[in-house]
Structure 1
Amino acid sequence: MTSDDTPRLNRRTLLKGTGVAGVALTAGCVSTTDDEGTSTPTDGGGGGGGGGDTDTETEMDDGGDEMSGPYTIGMVNSLTGSLSAFGQRNERGKELALAAVNETTINGAELEIISEDSESQAQSGVSAAQKLVNQDGVPFVIGAVGSGVSLAIYESVIQGTDVVQLSQNSTSPDLTNFPGLLRMSPTGSTQSTALSNIISEDGFDSVALAWVNNDYGQGLAETFRDQWGGEIAYDQPHDQGQSSYSSTVSGMANSGADAWVFITYQPEFTSMAQEAFSNGYEATYYGADSVAGPDVLANTPEGSLDGMKIVTPSAAIDQENYQNFASEFESEYGEAPTSWSAFAYDCVVTAALSIATADEFTGAALQETVRDVTRPDGEEVFTFAEAMEVLGEDGSAADINYEGVSGPIDFDENGDPVGFLQILTVEDHEYTQTGTIEG
């Protein structure tokens, strides 16, 4: 929110600090933990990341009606590595959102996003974020997919600066402990609670729990233990990228538990499911969000996963704006979007609305607006164009409540959104939605 007599980013305002020029930042040596649990020294950036003065300006055109541009922000995404399936959907959601924003424009100027690859690893994610903040001078970073990557970026690059960080996909409960790190997808603690309830309702009182050894896996596993009232007969971590997970599946089988819970990623779960099938192990499978995907179904034997239940963050599939988004996505890419595409889409629109309502294009100014553009006190808007129409020439962030294609956002004091969950059940080797849960 801003004072009524403070100049804002409208068509008659001179903007300073476009984020295109680099910003001089202080570097320090920070130790962070990557997704494999190894300690990696990184060169953390300090300073404002677009929040300080620069040598460039974004000025009005000669006619005084429109702003020149573009406004440049950054995105750290899993373009390669074990989370690349999510990253690809993120890129597609991002591109559709960019098209929607730039068709309307931010008070006459376009939005530009520089995408960098985290390689699904914390060290590479930190390097990508350092490049965006230190070299490109962006005041706003969307990122990342993996929770461990997002936390590493925040602790090594963002914390102590004015740069806004908004994760598109990270669900680890640990992120709740870092209020300065916003996220679009709901906390995984709601998934763990839902999984516990579903398994209990299905009549099981003993489970085998396999979880990936990083912030994401540790956080969801811990919440599951807290919520589960029965026996945990097997409870072991595993690393990413192993050539075989025979010890994991044999341990789960030997535990005697009839319900197996997987908190891991698609490639790792695919290997486990293949090895369990080839060894003739039988159990009822349950999983957190990141075990679901078309590649999993394509690379596991027909019928081997039937009956598996997965709890995953859900988009607002009943809303008209989501249905329009899904139709556009299918028309452009020949397949239906996932909730992860919707989260990436909403990250871009939220960033654009933050820019449109801020006093200036700096990290400090965007910190003041990024939460308010999705507050329930404002007028509900369902598209970027609708929001800009409501804002007019001199509206404020408090005037609008962007209801995303992923549903209500309304960041709380910890940077977590409201969110919804859906239950997917594998039937005839296809995912079928069999329920929804409000987060």
Structure 2
Amino acid sequence: MGDDTNIRRRDVLTASGAGALALTAGCVTSTDSTATETDSGGDGNGGATATETDGDMSGEPYSIGMVNSLTGSLSAFGQRNERGMELALQSIEDAGNIRGRPLDIIVEDSESQSQAGVSAAQKLVNQDGVPFLIGAVGSGVSLAIYESVIQGTDVVQLSQNSTGTELTEFPGLLRMSPTGSTQSSALANIIADDGYDSVALAWVNNDYGQGLAETFRSEWDGDIAYDQPHDQGQSSYSSTVSAMANSGADAWLFITYQPEFTSMAQEAYSNGYEAQYYGADSVAGPDVLSSTPEGSLEGMKIATPSAAIDQENYQNFASEFEDAYGEAPTSWSAFAYDCVITAALSIATADEFTGAGLQATVRDVTRPEGEEVFTFAEAMDVLGEDGSASDIDYQGVSGPIDFDENGDPVGFLQILTVQDHEYVQTGTIEG
């Protein structure tokens, strides 16, 4: 492809929907999501065919999969993932690819729902034969994919965005974003430090909401005057906000998603309800600010997973992101970026391009026993021709990764406060 490759790749990404896209460092082509076989030749168990490991595939792409929220209630996160993924593919290409072979990512849409996510993962694993799957955004979707598709195979699953506490119970399911229990604990401390002893708690009725709400209850020493779930996608949440107002609590905590919180905030404002708002990461976003009245969220505090904003590699990533997309990245873009780089390093250090081969390297490329490297190019320089996974310790743009025995990374949190209808960082916490 010509010199305008990067422009065309981004243009295609912004137009993507429920269909699949095959994204390669250096090229992008549409794929038919109904196909039963790809050129990479899956073995039906997330492994490569013999021809991919015999050394006669020089220059051919390594194909992995991603289940992303291209549509549905989490699509704002999905867009951030796409952008982080694209910058990671570019950095791999700029470094000469993976020992001369490009990385290809076949993207399927989860529609932000478990059933669609499972179908997407089945297509990637059973038809495309990917040995490494990045996915998904929603915690419930990631867990459904693991239990229905990944568990019992050698395929590596690495979630880009899932923070649900229940994922810790499945050590075979890795994730790049930290567990939400750190958010719940931080929010309990913040609300108490702000002088409140009673809170109204509204949480989305799925694994993500249930897990974070449970952790908050265990960490909160005060009174919980309202504690009820709500479903996604309702046309109105007036009953939720009126019940929160009638509870008498001056602090309201929202553990839900952007569309649901936006409706709640709009309805609370129109009814004249006033409270100090707090939220988990999934309620924050530019669409929330643009869809709520000026001043309606003033002073709201949100605990959200943070990238390593003081590291030089993150600052370089942020600069490249702003040059490419005209806005600053979020931590979610950084997590997706690191998923792709971690996958590439796992492939570069594996004995063979199979699920079993990548299982043997995916954790080791980020462990502290190796030499610290901050970019894919640095890592490949250290590895040379015959380096092993234990020779490097990839320090992601999202910070040190170092997966623990449960598949959870080292985590950092930012505290964001809404000031003049903008999110302002007002603190950081190490998880």
Q: TM-score, normalised by structure 1?
A: 0.88
Q: Distance in 2 between matches of 1:96 and 1:411?
A: 23
Amino acid at match of 1:50: G
Amino acid at match of 2:65: G
Q: Structure 1 residue 396 and structure 2 residue 405: aligned?
A: no
Q: Identify the residue that residue 83 of structure 1 maps to in structure 2.
A: 74
CA contact (8 A) 2:171 2:407 kept: yes
CA contact (8 A) 1:77 1:87 kept: yes
Amino acid at match of 1:364: A
What is the DSSP-based 3-state SS (H/G/I as helix, E as strand, rest coil) of the residue aligned with 2:225? strand
In the TM superposition, what are the counterparts of 1:336-375 in structure 2 within 5 Å? 336-375=328-367
Q: 1:239 aligned to 218, 221, 231, which one?
A: 231
CA contact (8 A) 1:97 1:349 kept: yes
Q: Structure 1 residue 21 and structure 2 residue 41: aligned?
A: yes
Q: Structure 1 residue 93 and structure 2 residue 93: aligned?
A: no
Q: Distance in 2 between matches of 1:425 and 1:382?
A: 30
Higher relative contact order, chain-length normalized (CA < 8 Å, sep 6+) = 1
CA contact (8 A) 1:73 1:138 kept: yes
Q: 2:55 aligned to 47, 52, 59, which one?
A: 59
What is the DSSP-based 3-state SS (H/G/I as helix, E as strand, rest coil) of the residue aligned with 2:400? coil
Q: Identify the residue that residue 281 of structure 2 maps to in structure 1.
A: 289
Relative to 1, partners in 2 of residues 1:19 and 1:235: Cα closer, same or farther, differing over 3 Å? farther
Q: Identify the residue that residue 213 of structure 1 maps to in structure 2.
A: 205
Q: Distance in 1 between matches of 2:298 and 2:376?
A: 40
Q: Distance in 2 between matches of 1:425 and 1:19?
A: 49
Q: Identify the residue that residue 3 of structure 1 maps to in structure 2.
A: none
CA contact (8 A) 1:182 1:411 kept: yes
Deviation, 1:103, is 2.0
Amino acid at match of 1:410: D
In the TM superposition, what are the counterparts of 1:44-55 in structure 2 within 5 Å? 48-50=45-47, 53-54=49-50
Q: Distance in 1 between matches of 2:52 and 2:370?
A: 33
CA contact (8 A) 1:60 1:68 kept: no
Amino acid at match of 1:89: R
Q: Identify the residue that residue 379 of structure 2 maps to in structure 1.
A: 387
Q: Identify the residue that residue 43 of structure 1 maps to in structure 2.
A: none
* Aligned-pair Cα RMSD in Å: 1.2
Q: Distance in 1 between matches of 2:411 and 2:225?
A: 31
Relative to 1, partners in 2 of residues 1:373 and 1:57: Cα closer, same or farther, differing over 3 Å? closer
In the TM superposition, what are the counterparts of 1:162-311 in structure 2 within 5 Å? 162-311=154-303
Amino acid at match of 2:402: D
Q: 1:431 aligned to 401, 407, 423, which one?
A: 423
What is the percentage of aligned positions where both structures have the same residue?
82
Deviation, 1:287, is 0.1
Relative to 1, partners in 2 of residues 1:58 and 1:101: Cα closer, same or farther, differing over 3 Å? farther
Amino acid at match of 1:20: S
CA contact (8 A) 2:349 2:388 kept: yes
- Find runs of 4+ consecutive structure 1 residues off by over 6 angstroms: none
Matched positions, count:
393
What is the DSSP-based 3-state SS (H/G/I as helix, E as strand, rest coil) of the residue aligned with 1:50? coil
Q: 1:70 aligned to 57, 61, 64, which one?
A: 61
Amino acid at match of 2:87: L
Q: Distance in 2 between matches of 1:409 and 1:287?
A: 25
Deviation, 1:19, is 8.5
Q: Distance in 2 between matches of 1:19 and 1:425?
A: 49
CA contact (8 A) 1:422 1:437 kept: yes
Q: Distance in 1 between matches of 2:54 and 2:254?
A: 50
TM-superposition CA deviations, 1:219-253 (whole Å, max 9, x none): 00000000000000000000000000001000100
Amino acid at match of 1:59: G
Amino acid at match of 1:293: G
Deviation, 1:59, is 3.1
TM-superposition CA deviations, 1:161-220 (whole Å, max 9, x none): 000000000000000000000000000000000000000000000000000001100000
Q: Distance in 1 between matches of 2:55 and 2:94?
A: 20
Q: Distance in 2 between matches of 1:99 and 1:253?
A: 49
Q: Identify the residue that residue 13 of structure 2 maps to in structure 1.
A: none
Q: Distance in 1 between matches of 2:120 and 2:59?
A: 27
